[in-house]
Structure 1
Amino acid sequence: MNEAAKGAWSELETAPDPTLLELFAGDTDRVELLSGRIDWDGEDGKAGILFDWSKTHLTQGLLSGFETLAEAMDFVGKRSALLGGEVVNLTEGRAAEHTAQRGIGADASVEEAGALHRRMAMLVDAIHDGALGPVKHLIHVGIGGSALGPALAVDALTRDLAKVDVHIVSNIDGLALEQAFAACDPAATMIAVASKTFTTIETMTNAESAIQWLERAGIDDPYGRVVALTASPEKAVEWGVDETRVLPFGESVGGRYSLWSSIGFPVAVAIGTEEFGQFLAGARAVDEHFRDHDGAVNLPLRAAFADQYYTRLKGCQTRAVFAYDERLALLPDYLQQLEMESNGKRVTADGELVDSPTAPITWGGVGTDAQHAVFQLLHQGTHLVPVDFIASIAPGDELDPAHHRILLTNCFAQGAALIAGGNMGANGNDPARAFPGNRPSATMLCDDIDPATLGALIAFHEHRTFANAVLMGINPFDQFGVELGKQMAGRIDAGGERFDASTEELLAAAGLG
């Protein structure tokens, strides 16, 4: 870390530490200062998301201090490098061009992404038009970013109706694949195999089993039912996929950032190509905001300021995300990978050991279920946990409006209660019924949950993750920690090598020794 950044941190560490109630009492403009919207053109006029950090401990002084830190860490330069398609993944010597999939990036990369999207759209439209025969089901096999993103989007956007019934399978546990088989008619099922390298052992093992399932069902040309989503098209063809059914994406599109590429094929199959275009457009609206705004008015950067305040200055080891909308039930799982795989690092981009905490543990759930499970710890536990609440003004159901009213009032009440605290004892002095309050939260209030909004939400968190990485001086685009266990599993499977006594005993007990 350079001297200017060290100086900025030193200033931040000496900042005043008033309570949240004191902050609200002392500043009548606090909500306006710490709230902002990102909007885009929707079907019925402007649509967007309201972001509110007023229930965090951020102040004008802290915002200014973090802006100084961002300048010291060359946030503007690194953002320009990211969006310009320059090499930002230094350990692997490549760019990170997920924004090019949405139209923001190097001209050649944007042009290539557009061509590949059109190729994907032609195949999706052919499926919907019946040109490939009856297709009622799609089994999508992938893992990590190749599965988490599609699973989130399909679950969020097809609660009403899906053009094709999509099943996402990631786990090598055969039960997951068997459950998909049981729900599908093999005569009307296509298989999507999503693997950047087309060598991922979990994915390729599941793909082989899917081919065998089709063969057992009497399908004459099972490989003709397969679509490959990969950055290694030649390996897909070698495996048996017809080259007309291979949907490539660029090597510079990382797995957990790949939903916008051909990895989004199952999403487009489920919701349609027009809606998939809206998904990309919502993300692009956030890209443009992220590109065009500097300092604390840049909302993903402001979110990173809050993250760094709680992780580094307040020692918070976790951050909780609660979606008060059933359509976003998988969002906490998605963000776990995005944030922890990106920023769970112990060295800087220069290879030096970090001198402070990096990514907190991301966890969460769905409201109101979580209120009856984990909120006890949030209100009265000994851990300080910053919370993000995410909700939608428009309901996802057509039942009595009381359902959605109760959902939203519970969401907003939790944030208010975390601030205020209090004592619910008869005389106001029962320790077991005391709540300390002064516990932070932020709220993201969406106008609705539709393709554009989901795209915007995901893109916002991508940029938030990148901004955090810049402030910490780390590389968010490699993930070597994922590889060690996979290498060890391969060595165990190959045999002929001894491991620690515990592992040897477990292998023997499972009949694998």
Structure 2
Amino acid sequence: MESRTSLASWQALTKHAQEMKHTHMRDLFDKNSERFAQFSIQLPPFLLDYSKNLIDSKTLTLLTELAKECEVEAWRDKMFSGERINSTEDRAVLHTALRNRSQKPIMLDGVNVTEEVQQSLNHIKAFSDKIRQGYWKGYSGKRITDVVNIGVGGSNLGPQMVTEALQQYSDNSINVHYVSNVDGTQIANVLRPLNPEKVLFIISSKTFTTTETMTNARTAMKWLVSASFDESAIAKHFVAVSSNKKNAMEFGIDKENIFDMWDWVGGRFSLWSAIGLPIAIDLGFDNFIELLEGAFEIDEHFCRAPLEQNAPVILALLSLWNCTFLGAQSQAILPYDQSLHMLSAYLQQAEMESNGKSVTWDGDEITYPTVPSIWGELGINGQHAFYQYLHQSNNVVPADFIGSVESVTPVQGHHETLMANFFAQTQALMAGVNEEQVRADLKAKGRTQDYIDKVSPHKIHKGNRPTNTILMKRISPRSLGSLIALYEHKIFVQGILLQICSFDQWGVELGKGLANEIQKEIESGEVTQNHDSSTLGLINYFKTLSKETVHNAS
């Protein structure tokens, strides 16, 4: 397959990037009073302003040409129709089918996926209603008051991010907790205040073999059985989201309490499926559907809007421009809404696990920079932590600023202060302040010439730091669904542009496989010599101190 670098648009962008590196965004804004209107997209769920990027009309034209040469639209249609675009695992990629509100049939291997999804939604509705209305009873006949979701990766990050973002939409009739870390501290802290008679566990694992998840699940099972003195209680306190019904049933979960998962849904794109069961239980099924509706709205936009007016496509092209052509190595996700405090972590997994790859579809080594590392924090907290780095370090970090017009919890004067900072930061990152401005400001404040000469270099901000601004009306189930889908499609387009398979995660598998072998060695006490000296030394040090701890305790 032809390398991306051989495309005419790629080569033109390489040359254009060298020209733009000598341009400042201040000058672009000074020359074009219509820049905001030209480089922004307004959709019902949000406004996307990307004018504060180091681009001009030529940049956008070349980037759009690249998207066409890479056949982004054709690949998009393949994904939505169920073609097996996950080539390394020979799977379709159909998380969009989970929120296909049009009910249009989607056929995969002779099966109408849309019908299967609807059956799963019916199952989610019936079960979540039963829990919320108190009809589901525990082993002692008491209603469920707490739900503990046990999963890892997308099985945890997705539903937890959503339920915490939408707390204001919960009636608090059920308390939802999350356990993902195999460090026993987390599950111990979660279980300690709970009443076993009133707890429901959701075990979310596609294979029902994930080591971390199953370790926590077995601990939860022992906790329950030690309280109930009856293994049959498992059936009344455990349900599963899995494609491996055999393993789930052997664990003690009734067949009718196993929710479907499919191999055409990747974990980091799965919150729209039964992985979202905690969302439906916490917020109510109607709000879960609103989440799906919001995502579907962006699916429709992604499928119908021209490339140059297509929000996910624009975000993907800008990421490529900033990272691959201009050399940025990381990107910050900066939500200015307390509700979105987990969004940075969620998008970190979604993008980096999807596109953190170094070979093309054909297995050839990639010779160009691909996606940046993703990191971030709530806006105001970040301002007093790492924004100094964003403003004045030698490394340019593009950033997405995400805010809302209305607060979900209005407190007089607070939201205005928050949003004043929101707007000011992108302006400061773009414009900066030059030496002439610094000196004039210090002089106006009556500073001495010696002081001005000494301090001026430290107060200069070069600016020219790219940002995107996403401004929502209000955080709601529908708008959050739209925001998540926006980034999902951005990630997909990035993968097409870079010739990366976005839907496998072989890098994750390597470490897990090694961990399984080392765990066997630790438990058996027979450590092999098939390790490098560092790893062997660390294992032996751990074993020695563990023995001393046990000895001292006895």
TM-score above 0.5? yes
Distance 1:295 1:160, change over 3 A: closer
Equivalent residues of 2:234, 2:253 under 8 A apart: no
Q: Residue 303 of structure 1: SS of its match in structure 2?
A: helix
- CA–CA distance in structure 2, aligned partners of residues 477 and 129 of structure 1: 38
Contact preservation (8 Å) 2:324, 2:371: no
Q: Is the 8 A contact 2:93 2:265 kept in 1?
A: yes
Deviations 1:169-218 (A, max 9, x none): 10000011011112422211100000010000100010010111112222
Aligned counterparts of 2:182 and 2:520: Cα–Cα separation in 1:
18
Is 1:34 paired with 2:39?
yes
- CA positional deviation for 1:77: 1.0
Question: Match of 2:508?
Answer: 482
Which residue of structure 2 aligns with residue 273 of structure 1? 285
Question: Counterpart amino acid of 1:49?
Answer: F
Q: Deviations over 1:124-164 (max 9, x none)?
A: 11111211121110000000110010110111111464331
Distance 1:381 1:166, change over 3 A: same
Aligned to 1:106: 106
User: Paired residue for 1:7?
Assistant: 8
Where does 1:106-145 land on structure 2 (aligned, <5 Å)?
A: 106-107=106-107, 108-133=112-137, 134-145=143-154
1:83·1:97 contact (CA, 8 Å) conserved in 2? Answer: yes
Match of 1:338 among 323, 347, 350: 350
TM-score (norm 1): 0.95
**Distance change >3 Å, CA 85–CA 368, structure 1 → 2:** same
Of 208, 213, 219, the residue aligned with 1:203 is: 213
Q: What is the DSSP-based 3-state SS (H/G/I as helix, E as strand, rest coil) of the residue aligned with 2:178?
A: strand
Give the partner amino acid of 1:21: R
Of 521, 528, 539, the residue aligned with 1:497 is: 528
Cα deviation 1:335-387 (Å, max 9, x = unaligned): 01100000000001111111211121000000101000000000011100001
User: Which residue in the other structure is 2:550 paired with?
Assistant: none
CA-CA distance at 1:233 after TM superposition: 2.0
TM-score by length of 2: 0.88
Amino acid at match of 1:364: G
Question: Offset of 1:82 from its aligned partner?
Answer: 0.5
- In structure 2, stretches of 5+ residues that fail to align are 138-142, 444-451, 522-526, 547-554
**Contact in 1 for aligned 2:26/2:464 (Cα 8 Å):** yes
Cα distance between partner residues in 2 of 1:101 and 1:283: 10
Matched, 1:412 2:423: yes
Residue in 2 that maps onto 1:248: 260
Aligned positions of 1:62-77 closer than 5 A = 62-77=59-74
CA distance in 2, matches of 1:78, 1:365: 33
Looking at structure 1, the residues matched to 477 and 488 of structure 2 have their Cα atoms a distance apart, in angstroms, of 17
Q: What is the match of residue 473 of structure 1? A: 499
- CA change 1:219–1:166 in 2 (3 A) is farther
The equivalent of 1:43 in structure 2 is: none
Pairing of 1:4-403 with structure 2 (within 5 A): 6-15=7-16, 16-17=19-20, 18-39=23-44, 48-103=45-100, 106-107=106-107, 108-133=112-137, 134-159=143-168, 161=170, 162-218=172-228, 220=230, 221-400=233-412, 402-403=413-414
In 2, Cα distance between the equivalents of 1:156 and 1:217?
A: 34
Shift of residue 224, structure 1, vs aligned partner: 2.1
Distance in 1, Cα, partners of 2:229 & 2:402: 45
Q: What is the Cα deviation at residue 37 of structure 1?
A: 2.2
- State the 1:219 CA deviation: 6.2
Aligned residues: 504
Q: Percent identity?
A: 36
CA distance in 2, matches of 1:254, 1:160: 27
**1:432 maps onto 2:458 in alignment:** yes
Give the distance between the partners of 1:387 and 1:71, measured in 2 at CA. Answer: 26
How far residue 2 of structure 1 moved from its aligned partner, in angstroms, is 2.6
Q: Residue 316 of structure 1 contacts residue 384 of structure 1 at CA under 8 Å; is this kept in 2?
A: yes
Contact 2:234/2:252 (CA < 8 Å) preserved in 1? no
Structure 1 window deviating more from structure 2 (410-419 vs 18-27): it is 18-27
| Cα contact 2:204–2:275 (8 A) shared by 1 | yes
Q: Distance in 2 between matches of 1:409 and 1:285?
A: 30
Deviation digits for residues 1-36 of structure 1 (CA, Å, limit 9, x no counterpart): 637852211101122312111111121221111111
SS of the residue aligned with 2:203? strand
CA distance in 2, matches of 1:493, 1:318: 34
Deviates more, 1:419-428 or 1:296-305: 419-428
Q: Rg bigger for which structure?
A: 2
Q: Does the 8 Å contact 1:196/1:231 carry over to 2? A: yes
